[in-house]
Structure 1
Amino acid sequence: MGPVSTPSSSPRTRRTGRLARYTAAFVVLCGLAGYVAVHHVTGSKGAPTCTVGSGENTYEFTPDQAANAATISAVGTTRRMPERAVQIALATAIQESGLRNIEHGDRDSLGLFQQRPSMGWGTPEQIMDPVYSSGKFYEGLAKVPGYSRLPLTVAAQKVQKSGFPQAYAKHEPDAALLAAALTGRSAAALNCTTSPAETKLPGDPAQVRAELVRAFGKKAAPKATAGDGTGAGSSAGRNAGGGADAKSGTAPAVLSIPVLATSGTGAQRGWELAHWAVARADDLRIAEVSYGGMVWRATDTKGTWNRARTPEGTAADAVRIRMQP
């Protein structure tokens, strides 16, 4: 029996197929044009990003990763752990989760440190809380005799019991940059860009207070100096330097965290808090952070720190956080 012939496509079918392809291509081009237009208008150079270091010695990561790294550091210093402990914790989290609070992993591993409920690290809900999981890591590290003098891989492995203990070593340089910035030893060292202000709701000072207390304890609770029920025309609003929001006519909330000194350990504490605020700026809708004569603004497309004048009537030895209006 000869081969069975198949009917060829009709002219109408071919026209319909071409029309569908042209339509799809047009939609893609419109989407690309819209993306380019939005980024041109907002001045954005791409997705929000954070960096520490300079030149070839630079670590680049996302605001979400920065927020998790800042939490890990804050929990460590609040427990009076040294910078070396923070470095070990950060290198461990980079290896285990890429500084992402993930809901999956090997077997029942979860979270930043891939801790396992079945191995006694806590409930899944607890482990998925970055403050809790960081605390549990430091609890384990504190039990390692002389951990600060051990090679990072050895110290991390004694806590994690990983199947790939040498993997932590490759993250030590990046963790060192992060630890120096997030513990405040390196001033004005964390730079972050954020999502366009047009896409954000107003910042909530109560949420920032709550997150600060969760990470650093009650002593880090800031005071509101403008915007919490005060009008833009009030002396508090003017002295805080918040300025009035043209849309609402009220001053954006400004939170102030007193720092005991602007040099030595006091200055380090100030920069630790300031860097935490920058790391959390995108998700907490923070518009401006200032400390030590420097200011970071979310509207700066480079995301860097710049010299700034301390507003009249405010203390120089305070970290000031202004919310997105």
Structure 2
Amino acid sequence: MGPVSEPTRPARRGRLARSAAAFAVLLGLASYVAVHQMTGSKGTPRCSVGSGDNRYEFTPEQASNAATISAVGTTRGLPERAVTIALATALQESALRNIEHGDRDSLGLFQQRPSMGWGTPAQIMDPVYSATRFYEGLEKVPGYSRLPLTVAAQKVQKSGFPQAYAKHEPDATLLAAALTGRSPAALTCTANETEGRPGDPERVRAELVRAFGEKAAPRAVTGGPSAGRSASAPPVLVVPVRGVAGSGTAGAEADGRRGWELAQWAVARSETLRITEVVHGDRVWRAGEALGGWSKLPAAGAADSSEGASGASDAAVPGGETVRMRLAQ
């Protein structure tokens, strides 16, 4: 009698092939989920800075955290280089996500450890607090702005992998240029204007003050039922530019950078704070725009009759002395 196992070999090979294919599919799915959990990706909406090959794309969560890190640094009067170092550090440590886990007891954007004296877990999980502590450490490093980024970051972080910060310097440089206002209209985001909760003017005010100080408190809030207007009129916050803590440069150049710093902070935090439109100078950003970019305001009297367009036209201020933020209704 011939071997009985011979006819079963093709079926066995078929089962093995199907098992291998199923395993590959599961592995691919697991990798997809892991990557999206690690990066905080939500698909759309998304944000970006730069263009072409010199472009960095990131999620609204990452944009919001990056804007907070930048605002804390410039409000302390620190130069753009300090913001670049801080952003590169947070990109390496947490991918700009405020995470509640890490090596041993590491937490937050900068993976600071309560056991090493960085603060309580609740404090470290506050992006303003954690960024402040990082900058306090950086300011103690002599000549940090002239040091290689990896050296400056390592003197604060004391990481086991100090060279890892270097790979994030190009993206951090793009982010810092936009968020400190040196690169106008460089940060863009796309968002669905019609989804989610309405914007809260008081929350936006509180976040502005926390990031930039009392001088950034809106000097007026128009629209919305609380202002005695029609419930269909969305709230609009008018934020002053002059005198707001900013990039550390003086005079008109400083005001110009501060205006764009505030405007791009608002875009970066638009999903979190339900900001649907930002106007500065002759430019407007709208959450509902397909490409999420900045566009020129229509000339006076040329705006259409829609509420958004007319509101943006009215918000144009010669010299860009304010930033106006329209909230979701």
TM-score (norm 2): 0.77
Aligned-residue RMSD, C-alpha: 1.8
Are 1:252 and 2:234 matched, yes or no?
Answer: yes
The 5-angstrom pairing of residues 50-199 of structure 1 reads: 50-194=47-191, 196-199=192-195
CA shift in 2, pair 1:116/1:282, >3 Å: same
C-alpha distance in structure 1 between counterparts of 2:283 and 2:45, whole Å: 21
| Misfit runs of 4+, over 4 Å | none
Are 1:202 and 2:206 matched, yes or no?
Answer: no
Match of 2:7 in 1: none
Name structure 1 gaps, 5 residues minimum: 1-44, 233-243
Are 1:266 and 2:255 matched, yes or no?
Answer: yes
Offset of residue 198 of structure 1: 3.0
C-alpha distance in structure 1 between counterparts of 2:132 and 2:152, whole Å: 16
C-alpha distance in structure 1 between counterparts of 2:71 and 2:43, whole Å: 29
CA shift in 2, pair 1:179/1:105, >3 Å: same
Offset of residue 197 of structure 1: 3.0
Offset of residue 225 of structure 1: 3.6
Q: Answer yes or no: is the 8 Å Cα contact 2:282–2:316 preserved in 1.
A: no
TM-score (norm 1): 0.78
C-alpha distance in structure 2 between counterparts of 1:66 and 1:312, whole Å: 28
List per-residue Cα deviations over 1:193-249 (Å, max 9, x = no partner): 11x2332121111100001111111111112341252344xxxxxxxxxxx6xxx43
Letter in 1 for 2:326: R
List per-residue Cα deviations over 1:239-292 (Å, max 9, x = no partner): xxxxx6xxx43x111101122399511010000000000001011111100102
Offset of residue 313 of structure 1: 7.7
Q: Of the candidates 281, 301, 324, which is equivalent to residue 292 of structure 1?
A: 281
C-alpha distance in structure 1 between counterparts of 2:314 and 2:216, whole Å: 24
Are 1:219 and 2:208 matched, yes or no?
Answer: no
C-alpha distance in structure 2 between counterparts of 1:85 and 1:46, whole Å: 30
Helix, strand or coil at the partner of 1:185 = coil
Helix, strand or coil at the partner of 2:278 = strand
Helix, strand or coil at the partner of 2:55 = strand
Q: Of the candidates 290, 297, 314, which is equivalent to residue 301 of structure 1?
A: 290
Letter in 1 for 2:323: V
C-alpha distance in structure 2 between counterparts of 1:314 and 1:226, whole Å: 15
Q: Answer yes or no: is the 8 Å Cα contact 1:259–1:270 preserved in 2.
A: yes
Helix, strand or coil at the partner of 2:261 = helix
C-alpha distance in structure 1 between counterparts of 2:56 and 2:324, whole Å: 26
Q: Answer yes or no: is the 8 Å Cα contact 1:50–1:63 preserved in 2.
A: yes
Name structure 2 gaps, 5 residues minimum: 1-41, 244-250, 299-311
Helix, strand or coil at the partner of 1:144 = coil
Q: Answer yes or no: is the 8 Å Cα contact 2:280–2:316 preserved in 1.
A: no
Helix, strand or coil at the partner of 1:58 = strand
Letter in 2 for 1:51: S
C-alpha distance in structure 2 between counterparts of 1:166 and 1:189, whole Å: 28
Helix, strand or coil at the partner of 2:109 = coil
Task: Count residues in correspondence.
Answer: 265
Q: Answer yes or no: is the 8 Å Cα contact 1:224–1:253 preserved in 2.
A: no
Match of 1:321 in 2: 325
Paired-residue identity, %: 69
